Amino acid sequence: MDRRSFIKRAGAAGAGAAATAATLAAPAIAQSAPKISWRCTSSFPKALDTIFGAAQTMAKYVKESTDGNFDIQVFAAGEIVPGLQAADAAAAGTVEMCHTASYYYWGKDPTYALATAVPFMFNDRQMNAWLYYGDGNALLNEFYATKGLYGLACGNTGAQMGGWYRKEINTLADLKGLKMRIGGFAGKVVEKLGVVPQQIAGGDIYPALEKGTIDAAEWVGPYDDEKLGFQKVAPYYYYPGWWEGGPTLHTLVNLAKWNELPKAYQAAVASACEAANCDMMASYDYKNPGALKRLVAGGAQLRPFSQEILSACFDSANATYAEISASNAAFKKIYDSQAAFRKDAYLWAQISEYTFDTFMMIQQRNGKL
Amino acid sequence: MDRRSFIKRAGAAGAGAAATAATLAAPAIAQSAPKISWRCTSSFPKALDTIFGAAQTMAKYVKESTDGNFDIQVFAAGEIVPGLQAADAAAAGTVEMCHTASYYYWGKDPTYALATAVPFMFNDRQMNAWLYYGDGNALLNEFYATKGLYGLACGNTGAQMGGWYRKEINTLADLKGLKMRIGGFAGKVVEKLGVVPQQIAGGDIYPALEKGTIDAAEWVGPYDDEKLGFQKVAPYYYYPGWWEGGPTLHTLVNLAKWNELPKAYQAAVASACEAANCDMMASYDYKNPGALKRLVAGGAQLRPFSQEILSACFDSANATYAEISASNAAFKKIYDSQAAFRKDAYLWAQISEYTFDTFMMIQQRNGKL
């Protein structure tokens, strides 16, 4: 054997040995820790740092806990696709996942809305109870699977505010003809009461309120609303945002991509999403109080919705649920599950939690905290 | 070169290539995914499946997201050390970590209690806001480091109930001489009002109430209390448990062991603990409503504490905080941080969240849910 032949064969043997080593080592690497890079398109701009931040928190936990091997890059709305096309992009495989509010897609199927929030349903904690321990996650994923998606709860804003109004709204008569920037399901509910819902992008709300093109607009809550300065042009700040008692954000993953993911990475994503779910609520709860104080100092006039208005909206919401349930079996199945738990959840919540909070709020009002 | 020489050299080359492959692959395995087995001693028995379960949820997320490489085994109270020695066992390195309520160790230093719950402080969400976005986790870990521990929030029960009483408690006079099974910090607060605090293990409470050795006992809330059957011997079930508005459970890790852990495993534990923190609250919120209904059907008489009693307890708690703060700088630093956030947190909570909940509770009472 000449040297050249030897090198060739030894090289082959070496390669073979390396291949064997690779064969031995690879399963552990390939199955458990392959280098994967995913794109997550957010429905939100970076300026909404609390909501956008939930996707970043999730991605950070996943990346760090996989030693950098599973790298999820989060893109703001518009960087890959517009915010309202996030779920479509994930379903189509344009991106592997998105972070979004499922109710944005209620126009395609109102069932999407039940994953986020529907009027007069849950607060943050009740939603989590239903998702993680009730039928929630299982029922929602039965639905999402029909759309080619797998959903994981990933953030909550808590009860939102009821929006900014140029004039006081005291009675049902004040709602007639009110041009209000209010989206989706809630728009459908208030439309029955004479409100004229408007679809306006976040950045266009302020000038529309200023010019009087619209009379009112809902956005999120103090921390996010403050950035847009609504108190200068529509000072009456109503509460509660009865259409969003505890809206849940979702990470929606392309179903085929989810199923291909190593089990360890699925677990890392599930853990990170549940952690981010907790984290985003904490972020809002920490940031909203200061923003509320600054808004009031800057001219915002806090107003509770009257019982007359809340009751009429509640009835209108129930009528809407009945209408949709009559023709949409998927919606009915999930709505019925939520409504059944809601009944018991509010029974328990009013005992210890509510009386504890009430006593503490009285102390706050009396300047004793 | 003869065949034998070739094989020898080729083998060496092959081994070299394999060694090279190992050299390339090993760091990724050795640094990021070593096989590690830890023991986590819980302060709780398996029968308290919701609290014990939070440690299991944490361990499951960690194990799965590390592909089984980081295996945390959870042991019930007594299997390795008694429940109240869990933190000591972690600090001493007898176990690598424990899952416990930090306030169990308040006798060593009342600062421990601030990590869990102190009277008239936070509800679940406010505690999380302070922990994750306020100074909470940083301040607590500054304290824990002096004890050789690293702490991660890992579960919450929500507002607990105020306990079971053989007779109705209406006025401050009814508290005088009341022999009550009530632990730690809260015992110190009610002692100022004439209550005689008793330390009794969970399993001994029922016979003590039955015989009248004690007059009252606090435990957790409906789901856990139901298992012990207190309604049969002390039917008056008071609320709120003002000493535990949102008690946080902690995973306490031996500090040296924590620092030795690969960064990826630290991240997996952090993610899993925050996920379990969310998960345990959801578990209680899902399980408590049904238990409450069964308890009431079984004879429990729900009673709110009178404002007279709550106000006196609030004043007594504040006096206790002032006393401890005067001599314990670590306590004062953390208490002051909590109290500062509390003031703003209850201002915001009473706006949208509270009015949303209130309206929904009215519907519940009116049978409209």
Q: Is residue A150 part of a domain?
A: yes
Sign of CA dihedral A90, A248, B244, B365: negative
Lowest mean pLDDT among A317-326, B31-40, B98-107, B254-263: B31-40
Percent of chain A's residues with pLDDT above 90: 89
A63, A278, A303, A337: best mutation site toward chain B, by most B Cβ within 10 Å? A278
Helix axes B124-132, B329-349, angle to 10 degrees: 120
Confirm whether A364 is domain-assigned.
no
| Number of domain units in chain A | 1
Residue B94: its pLDDT value, please? 98
Angle of helix A329-349 relative to helix A352-365, nearest 10 degrees? 60
In which domain, by residue range, is B52 found? 34-155+246-285
Query: Which residue, A247, A362, A293, A123, is CA-closest to B346?
Result: A362
Contact B178, B193 (CB under 8 A): no
Q: Does B164 touch chain A (CB under 8 A)?
A: no
Between CA B48 and CA B54 the distance in angstroms is 10
pLDDT at B26 over 60: no
Q: What pLDDT, on a 0 to 100 scale, did the predictor assign at position A32? A: 59
How would residue B14 be classed by pLDDT, with cut points 50, 70 and 90? very low
Q: Which of A325-334, B16-25, B61-70 has the lowest mean pLDDT?
A: B16-25
Are A67 and B272 within 8 A, CB to CB?
no
User: How far is CA A67 from each of CA A34, B36, B264, B271, B324, rounded to the nearest angstrom?
Assistant: 11, 16, 5, 13, 44
pLDDT band at B199 (very low <50, low <70, confident <90, very high): confident
Is residue B364 over pLDDT 70?
yes
Does the pLDDT at position B8 exceed 60?
no
B148 lies in some domain: yes
Tell me how far apart the alpha carbons of residues B236 and A258 are, in angstroms, rounded to a whole number: 51
Cβ atoms of B105 and A261 within 8 Å: the answer is no
CB neighbour burial string for A100-128, b if at least 16 within 10 angstroms, e if fewer: bbbbbbbeeebbbbbbbbbbbbbbbbbbb
pLDDT tens sequence across B267-300: 999 999 999 999 999 999 999 999 999 999 999 9
Q: Name the residue among B242, B368, B223, B218 with its Cα closest to residue B282.
A: B223
What average pLDDT does chain A have? 92
Residue B194, domain member (yes or no): no
- Compute the distance between CA of residue A289 and CA of residue B346 in angstroms, rounded to an integer: 8
Q: How far apart are CA B31 and CA B262, in angstroms?
A: 7
Question: Which residue in B has a C-alpha nearest to residue A7's C-alpha?
Answer: B10
d(CA B30, CA A310): 60
- Chain B residue with the nearest C-alpha to that of A245: B356
Query: What's the pLDDT tens digit per position in A76-105?
Result: 999 999 999 999 999 999 999 999 999 999
Let me know if residue A207 belongs to a domain: no
CATH code where residue A118 lies: 3.40.190.170
The DSSP code sequence of A72-114 is EEEE-TTTSS-GGGHHHHHHHTSSSEEEE-GGGGTTT-GGGGG
The answer, for B145 touching chain A at a CB cutoff of 8 Å, is no
The reported pLDDT for the residue numbered A28 is 42
Chain A residues with beta carbon closer than 8 angstroms to that of B22: 21, 25
Does the annotation place A39 within a ligand binding site? no
Q: Note whether residue A81 is domain-resident.
A: yes
- Check A275 against B279: CB less than 8 A apart: no
- Mean pLDDT for chain B? 92
A283-326 confidence digits (pLDDT tens): 999 999 999 999 999 999 999 999 999 999 999 999 999 999 99
Evaluate if residue A154 carries a pLDDT over 60.
yes
Residue B99 lies in a domain: yes
Q: What confidence category does residue A199 fall into, taking pLDDT thresholds of 50, 70 and 90?
A: confident
Q: What is the mean pLDDT of residues B45-71?
A: 97
Residue B55 has pLDDT above 50, yes or no: yes
**Residue B248 pLDDT > 60, yes or no?**
yes
pLDDT of residue B32: 58
User: How confident is the model at residue B209, as a pLDDT?
Assistant: 97
Cα separation, B34 vs B23, in Å, equals 15
Q: Residue A206: which of A221, A185, A226, A186 has the closest Cα?
A: A226
Q: Annotated binding residue at A218?
A: yes
Using CB atoms within 10 A of its CB, is residue A26 exposed (0-12), middle (13-18) or buried (19+)? Answer: middle
Is B71 within the bounds of a domain?
Answer: yes
